[in-house]
Structure 1
Amino acid sequence: MPSSGTPGRDPLWATVLADLRDRLAAREFDDRFPTDRELMDRYRVSRHTVREAVRRLGVVERRPRLGGRVRAPATGALPALGRTLAALGVRLELLPGPHSGDPREGGPTGPDTAHGQGAATAARHLLRADGLPLADSHCRVEGPGPPAAELAPGLLGLGAPPVALRPGPESVLPDVPPAAVREALELGEGIAVYRVDTTHTLDDGSTVTHRAYVRADRYPCILRFTPG
């Protein structure tokens, strides 16, 4: 293992993280994720290094003294796009969006509204890829589930969601977005984007609706159309 203080070398957590990602891809952790102690013994590093690598892996649900389990990633076009770009080395950032009306609902999409039993929360984010705007994300949760802001990263392929999502309908359509979205994505008037709409349900009965406007000019892609 390289020393975390050695100039020109990756920190220890990055080396551990790279190996954990390879093992994850090989489905080594399907049944159980190792405890901190097991990882410390395998990689001969400190608990702090292990925990930092696992935190950055972003898909592990810890269980005290039992190891952990890997949360399933969200499915669909957007999570697949996010994971593909990350695998290609694209730097992805998820930033809080401006406080403006949601083009779907006409409701707030800034910070989460009051959350509680039966309440609804909404959150808007801007996904940037290598410093440039890629997607304008609008997430809404109806019911007692986690706040919308906590679910948005998983719905965009940035790690796994904090809870299991049961996928529902998904549509990917070309669209000319409203002015607020054009401004966020730095688009000229009349330029089309992909509009991706998804619906998920949670075990607690909550409904998660997500709409994202994705710039069509940043990365080439292939769409497959099937009869509705």
Structure 2
Amino acid sequence: MGLHAVTSVHIITEDKTGGGLEAIIRAEAQYQRQRAGRQPLRFPGTRGSINGNSQLLDQCRKYERFRFNYKPRIEHVFYVMDARNAWDLKQLGVQVPRAPYEQSLPAFIATIQEGMATLARGSRTEQEWEKVRGGFHPHVLVWERESLILPVADRLGLGEPLPDVYAERGAADIVTDRFRRVKNRGYSKSIDGPEYLTRIAQDERLRAIVLASNASLRDIVEDLASL
């Protein structure tokens, strides 16, 4: 790679909020790189939002296609799965994590990441996989996109903030209830979700609060910013 070459990245997220999660990840990673005096990353023009964890696993099987069938070539592919309901996917073989989550989640996440890598590797030999595995980045978001709304709920007009997002496995249910009380109508993941997550993505202060509340999100951003 040349001295001034730009690193290309494709992000695939389990995200029914129209790319809202990816917008936050992109914005914060680019911000951190700018502060470090590093070049911005290059992303494809279209977002890689997938409707459901099972579809995201199918995309893991297409890792080689994403890496080598695009022009210009994509050097890194990030896969971000929701932790919520991941235990329903039999091919992952994970059990529902139990409180205290700070103790049970690391092994839970690691097992999911190993399962995603197995799908991406496919029938390659160990030597073949070693040559391309550096561009594969599996991640798990705890617990779901609405988990990013809870710690800044007060800034978004949705009542008291809930900073301990690991303790709130039903973040979407909480946001739905708050939204109904404030807006007097139902919460739409595909309409209201993108609006709130985009507001977070565009505000450095909101992103800082959200990152501080969610170690899994920090792992994703730090991995991306470090490329």
Whether these two folds match at TM > 0.5 is no
Instruction: Using CA pairs under 8 Å that are at least 6 residues apart, name the structure with larger relative contact order, 1 or 2.
Output: 2
Give the greater-gyration-radius structure (CA). Answer: 1
With structure 1 as the length reference, what TM-score do the two structures score? Answer: 0.28
Q: Which has the higher helix share?
A: 2
Q: Which has the higher strand share?
A: 1
With structure 2 as the length reference, what TM-score do the two structures score? Answer: 0.28
